Structure 1
Amino acid sequence: MNPLIYMVIISSLTTGTILTMSSYHWLLAWLGLEINTLAIIPVISMQHSPRSTEAATKYFLTQAAASAMIMMSSMTNAWLMGTWNITQMTSYTANIMLTIALTMKLGLAPLHFWLPEVLQGASMMTAIIITTWQKLAPMSLILMTINNLPPKILIIMGLMSAMIGGWGGLNQTQTRKIMAYSSIAHLGWMMVIAPIMTNILIMNLLTYLMMTTTMFWSLMMTKSKTIQNMTTTWTTSPTLTIISLITLLSLGGLPPLTGFLPKWLILEELTTQTLTTIAILMALSSLLSLFFYLRLGYTTTLTMSPNSPLVKYKWRFKPTTQTLPMNIMTPMALLLLPLMPTIIY
């Protein structure tokens, strides 16, 4: 792609998200979402393969339907209540439509089917954008309207997402699909805590962005598209192999690492609000996700030389991927747990 055109597309992507996050009028928020969607379509289909074209089409249809539903809900609210202000969504019918539309944009269950297929058809770099940057605009709308959204629907959809994200990833061999189901499960944790305490939601979102970016970047540096590819990671970089393992454990939420922080606080808050059953189900669903993270970690690290002599060696070419983003994100994705008292108080 022409660098000038690529720069215009990336700047449009940034502008659309910032416009949605900074607006209080529904038309401006909708306009930002549309700019965002139209900018990401050429990025997804940039590979010029039937798979990427299919992924771009699926993404466009899903996001267009969700944007139309957002516009319908805002028009319903304006018709009944006489206001286009985002923070004054007081119509119950409009709020239900808005909840369904925003969860479809994010990829929560049961409206999650598009996310694994789109990520599988996109490149690794595009997958990073879809799973991180593209979540910011819908999440900001949820934060602005959270006082009016029905909490029972959000909690039920969050619980379903955590379970389906765990179950769906068990049967996958493609790393991008595994990361897609990981994204669905993490978004489920965010939605469960959203009606109760928004500052934990924001912290969970930030830790999710850091951990997901780090994991995708390590997959991109080692060119690991399947679990089988990950068995030869150590031939490319033994250090990166260890970083990938610890990042996977952080995504799974094991205690010494950053990923344990949001899950701990969410379970504590759910228990405080006497939602003990939901807290138990969420904790059990995280075990499903932890299983396929451990499976990835096993194939990456525990099959290192000299335990697997039949593995073909990779040539150690000079890496073409930038390492600076990973150098910045890795410490934050792994070592933020000791800073928890500073973050909270």
Structure 2
Amino acid sequence: MLKFYKILFLNTLMLGTLIAISSYSWFSMWMGLEINLLSIIPLLTDPKNVYPSESALKYFITQAMASSALLFSIIMSMNMTEFLPQNSNYWMMMIMNSALLTKMGSAPIHVWFPEVMEGLNWVNSLIMLTWQKIAPMVLLMYNNKMTTFMTFVIIFSSAISGIQGLNQISLRKILAYSSINHIGWMIASMLNSKTIWSIYFTIYTIITMNIIFIFKQLNVFYLKQMLNSMNNSKMNKMIFILNFLSLGGLPPFLGFFPKWLTINNLAANNFFSLSLILIIFTLMTLFFYLRVTFSTLVINSNESLIYENKNYKFSVILFNCMALMGLAVCTMIFSMF
């Protein structure tokens, strides 16, 4: 049962994001980000989390530092142009973009993100992976004029997430590094098209929700717990594996669709080397996705012979159908136009 304070802070969390993305001035955007930050701290200090105070403190310190840098860059760029040299606006824009990248957990300023994720339960992890990315990304889209800087951020995000995710045994850290890789793809998609970014973020949210719902239902947090946790239900096991393959971007599934659009867009705008780097490092993330799926499918384990007739909720089945069969639907719709 939801407590009153959770409903209150969840509403103000959403309100802060909506204020930030719908504002006309940078100060209003900063104010929306601060409302969002102050609303999520009580949710992170929930006693159901693994390390409630540690995660909340790490998150607060990082976000407060990023907010300070953002406010500094806004004030300097708006009010002190006559005291600064001609090229100062470029540096202020770089500080602003770096602050927004810190807020969303993008590499190379990503170190706080897996550490905060490790101390959360699955519901708070879902908020961190999806909703908390919206406001910084939309603000970055408004200020997206530094193509060279963004290209380095995209390469760092895809490379660091691919390399550091390889030796993880915690499912929350695996999803955190997966999110950093997808942040690189989303920034690449927003370089030339806002529509592709919105498609990418929506599909990423649907797939992440499916995976986290399964983890929450099974109450598992580490790879070694996956060995015997899915042996009671063949359907559960198959849905889980296909969702992870969809998150990795394999062609028969919906997760391939936004990556297909992004690569097509990058190639059309002559970003050939960037698209090649993204594809190579995505193969590394696909490798540790396969490690997770192998622990449920391939390794020999004792299966239960007792058939359990589980009635799945309609919403769970609907979301999984969208995540797994959506590519065929999208292809049919786009081929009509």
Q: By the TM > 0.5 criterion, same fold?
A: yes
In the superposition, relative to structure 1, how do residues 77 and 313 fare at CA in structure 2: closer, same or farther (>3 Å)?
farther
The whole-number CA distance in structure 2 between the counterparts of 1:219 and 1:277 is 36
SS at match of 2:36: helix
Residue 124 of structure 1 corresponds to: 122
**Distance in 2 between the 1:241 and 1:252 partners?**
17
Q: Does the residue aligned with 1:254 lie in a helix, a strand or coil? A: coil
**% same residue:** 32
Kept in 2: contact 1:76–1:94 (CA 8 A): yes
Partner residue of 2:198?
202
Letter in structure 1 aligned against 2:115: E
Distance 2:141 2:334 in 1: 19
- Which of 218, 222, 226 aligns to 1:226? It is 222
Superposed, which structure 2 residues align to 1:104-253 within 5 Å?
104-146=102-144, 149-253=145-249
Residue 87 of structure 1 corresponds to none
> What CA distance in whole angstroms lies between the structure 2 residues aligned with 1:81 and 1:317?
69
Indicate conservation of the 8 Å contact 2:48/2:121, yes or no: no
State the distance in 2 between where 1:318 and 1:239 align.
Answer: 10
SS in 1 for 2:191: coil
The code of the aligned residue for 1:291 comes to F
Flag structure 2 segments of 5+ consecutive residues without an equivalent.
83-87
User: How many residue pairs get matched?
Assistant: 330
Matching of residue 255 in structure 1 with residue 246 in structure 2:
no
Question: How much has 1:269 moved relative to structure 2?
Answer: 2.2
The answer to whether the 8 A contact 1:166-1:286 is kept is: yes
Letter in 2 for 1:308: S
Tell me if structure 2 keeps the 8 A contact 1:20–1:31. yes
Q: How far apart, in 1, do the equivalents of 2:20 and 2:219 lie?
A: 34
Do residues 279 (structure 1) and 275 (structure 2) align? yes
Per-residue CA distance 1:175-213 (angstroms, 9 max, x = gap): 000000000000011112322222222211111111111
After superposition, where does 1:18-33 map in structure 2 within 5 Å? 18-33=18-33
TM-score, normalised to structure 1's length? Answer: 0.88
1:45–1:122 Cα contact (<8 Å) kept = no
Q: Which residue matches 2:325? A: 335
Distance 2:230 2:65 in 1: 44
Letter in 2 for 1:24: Y
Secondary structure of 1:46's counterpart equals coil
In the aligned structure 2, how far is the partner of 1:38 from the partner of 1:342? 42
Alignment-mate amino acid for residue 13 of structure 1: L
Kindly report structure 1 stretches of 4+ aligned residues shifted beyond 4 Å: 311-314, 316-319, 322-325
**Residue 220 of structure 1: how far off its partner (Å):** 0.9
Q: 2:96 pairs with 95, 98, 114, which one? A: 98
Distance 1:140 1:335 in 2: 28
Q: Which residues of 2 match residues 298-313 of structure 1 at below 5 A? A: 298-303=294-299, 307-309=300-302
Alignment-derived partner of residue 86 in structure 1: none
Residue 232 of structure 1 contacts residue 313 of structure 1 at CA under 8 Å; is this kept in 2?
A: no
CA distance in 1 between counterparts of 2:309 and 2:108 reads: 43
Query: Structure 1 residues 65 and 323, CA, compared in 2 at 3 Å: closer, same or farther?
Result: farther
Distance 2:151 2:331 in 1: 25
Unpaired segments ≥5 residues, structure 1: 83-89
Counterpart residue type for residue 106 of structure 2: L
SS in 1 for 2:231: helix
Distance 2:10 2:96 in 1: 27
Hey, what's the Cα distance between the residues in 2 that align with 1:29 and 1:118?
24
- State the alpha-carbon separation in 2 of the partners of residues 323 and 97 from structure 1: 46
Opposite residue 272 of structure 2, the aligned amino acid is T
Distance 1:252 1:50 in 2: 27
TM-score (norm 2): 0.90
Instruction: Give 1:236 deviation, angstroms.
Output: 4.2
Shift of 1:61: 0.6
Identify the range of structure 1 (43-52 vs 5-14) with the bigger mean alpha-carbon deviation.
Answer: 43-52
Task: State the Cα distance separating 1:273 from its structure 2 match.
Answer: 2.2
The one-letter amino acid of 1:253's match is G
Between the aligned partners of 2:20 and 2:270, the Cα distance in structure 1 is 35
| Helix, strand or coil at the partner of 2:71 | helix
Partner of 1:40: 40
Match of 2:85 in 1: none
Question: Which stretch has the larger CA shift, 128-137 or 261-270?
Answer: 261-270
